[in-house]
Structure 1
Amino acid sequence: MIGTTRRRARLFDPESGKSVILSLDHGASDGMIPGIEKIQEMLGAVGSSRAQGVVLNKGLARSWGGNVDQRVGLVIQLSGGTKHGLPTYNKSLVCSVPEALRAGADAVCVHVNLGNDLEDRMLGDLGVVTDEAHQLGLPVMAVIYARGGQIVNELDPALIGHSIRLGGELGADLVAVPFSGESESFGRAARSCPVPVLVTGGPRKASLDIVLDDISQALEAGASGVCVGRNIFQHPDPIAALAKVTERVHGAK
């Protein structure tokens, strides 16, 4: 596990101990959403930011991964599904761990949605990936949402806490979940998780200030950083938005 822990450590700033991971894997699921055309620009700029990692699907990693500064970790998304499929929460493995490694991955990512009739298969995928990735010394980030037919409120603090616990129990090296907005329960789950917990950005908010306030609350509650995409690349000035997010996570430099 030495390789896994060393590579995971590179996804955290040595001074703040926190992580900012820029998620740019939305094109597969959502298609030509606003801001998606800025992806290549973002990849060229991320090296001069204070972000520690970027999430890409395998095709972009092979085509544009060379534009990513070597100091920035490349996290390759192994899960895929589109908003047009039924059910919309379905995620399947579309990339293997060896394929991700050949594409230059420093870590891999698996998306799991719990609380639906496909939960067992997605959990099985996470189990297979953690085994294969750890054999090759690659850390696994599990992005976990409560989403599906059994879910009424995706931000229910109990469900967010269960998502955090689930990732830690099933062997992920990082767990990324939405912030529930309820600091006490989130902090309890994060503190008892054996691995770092990041908060995801979710759909684009009405303003970046709302995102920054959520980040501050999550960090105070015990989050170890963020994994944010749409609230950065859909911003009118994504480079400036990324700078503000990194400053909120790592502090002013």
Structure 2
Amino acid sequence: MIGTTRRRSRLFDPSSGRSVILSLDHGASDGMIAGIENIQDILSAVGKTRTQGVVLNKGLARAWGADVDQRLGLMVQLSGGTKHGLPTYNKSLVCSVPEALRAGADAVCVHVNLGNDLEDRMLGDLGVVTDEAHQLGLPVMAVIYARGGQIVNELDPSLISHSIRLGGELGADLVAVPYSGNKKSFGLAARSCPVPVLVTGGPRKADLTSCLKDMEEALDAGAAGVCVGRNVFQHTDPAEALSRVVERVHGKV
């Protein structure tokens, strides 16, 4: 596990001890949404900030991975599913760990949605990936949401706490979940988790300020960093939005 630990440590800023991961894997699930056409420009800008990693699907990793600054961690998303499928919360493995490694991955991601009739298969996928990735020394980030027929409120604090605990219990090296808005329960789950917990940016918010406020509260509660996507690449100025996120997470230089 030494390789896994060393690679995971590179996803955290040595000064702040926190992580900013930019997620750019939305094209597979959502198609040509606003901002997705500028991924190459965004990748060029990321290296100028204190961002620690980017998440890409395997095709973009192969095509544009060379454009990613070498100090950044390239994280390849292994799960896939589209918004047109039924059920919409279904995620299947569309990339293997060896394929991700050939594409230049420094870490891999698996998306799990709990609280639905496909939960068992997605959990099985996470189990297989953690085993294969750890054999090759690659860290695994489990992105876990409560979505499906059994879920009434995706941000229910007890569900978010369970998602955090689930990722830690099943061997992920990083766990990324939405922020519940409840500092007490989120902090307890994050402190009890054996691996770092990142908070996801979630759907595009009306303004970046409200997104930053949620991130700051989650960091104060115990999050080790953020994994943000739409609130950066769909911003009118993605580079500026990313710089503001980085400053909020790591502090001013």
Q: Deviations over 1:118-163 (max 9, x none)?
A: 0000000000000000000000000000000000000000000000
Matched, 1:237 2:245: no
The one-letter code sitting in structure 1 at the alignment partner of 2:252 is: A
Taking only aligned residues, the RMSD between alpha carbons, in angstroms, comes to 0.3
The one-letter code sitting in structure 2 at the alignment partner of 1:226 is: V
User: 1:64 offset after TM fit, Å?
Assistant: 0.5
Give the 3-state SS of the residue equivalent to 1:56 in structure 2. strand
Corresponding residue number in structure 1 for 2:43: 43
Alpha-carbon distance between aligned partners in 1 of 2:174 and 2:25, rounded to the nearest angstrom: 17
Number of corresponding residues: 253
My pick for the range that moved more, 34-43 or 110-119, is 34-43
Corresponding residue number in structure 1 for 2:173: 173
Corresponding residue number in structure 1 for 2:189: 189
User: 1:38 offset after TM fit, Å?
Assistant: 1.3
Give the 3-state SS of the residue equivalent to 1:205 in structure 2. coil
User: 1:178 offset after TM fit, Å?
Assistant: 0.1
Q: Deviations over 1:66-102 (max 9, x none)?
A: 0000000000000000000000000000000000000
Alignment of 1:124-203 (within 5 A): 124-203=124-203
The one-letter code sitting in structure 2 at the alignment partner of 1:220 is: D
Matched, 1:85 2:85: yes
Give the 3-state SS of the residue equivalent to 2:47 in structure 1. helix
Alpha-carbon distance between aligned partners in 1 of 2:150 and 2:194, rounded to the nearest angstrom: 27
Q: Deviations over 1:190-248 (max 9, x none)?
A: 00000000000011000000011001100000000000000000000000000000000
Give the 3-state SS of the residue equivalent to 2:159 in structure 1. helix
Alignment of 1:102-113 (within 5 A): 102-113=102-113
Which consecutive residues of structure 1, in runs of 5 or more, have no partner in the other structure? none
Which consecutive residues of structure 2, in runs of 5 or more, have no partner in the other structure? none
Alpha-carbon distance between aligned partners in 2 of 1:118 and 1:154, rounded to the nearest angstrom: 16
Matched, 1:4 2:4: yes
Alpha-carbon distance between aligned partners in 2 of 1:245 and 1:43, rounded to the nearest angstrom: 16
Corresponding residue number in structure 1 for 2:117: 117
Corresponding residue number in structure 2 for 1:217: 217
Q: Deviations over 1:27-79 (max 9, x none)?
A: 00000001111111111111111100000000000000100000000000000
The one-letter code sitting in structure 1 at the alignment partner of 2:199 is: V
The one-letter code sitting in structure 1 at the alignment partner of 2:107 is: A
The one-letter code sitting in structure 2 at the alignment partner of 1:81 is: G
Which structure 1 residue ranges, 4+ long, deviate > 3 Å from structure 2?
Answer: none
Alpha-carbon distance between aligned partners in 1 of 2:239 and 2:46, rounded to the nearest angstrom: 8
Q: Report sequence identity in percent.
A: 83
Give the 3-state SS of the residue equivalent to 2:226 in structure 1. strand
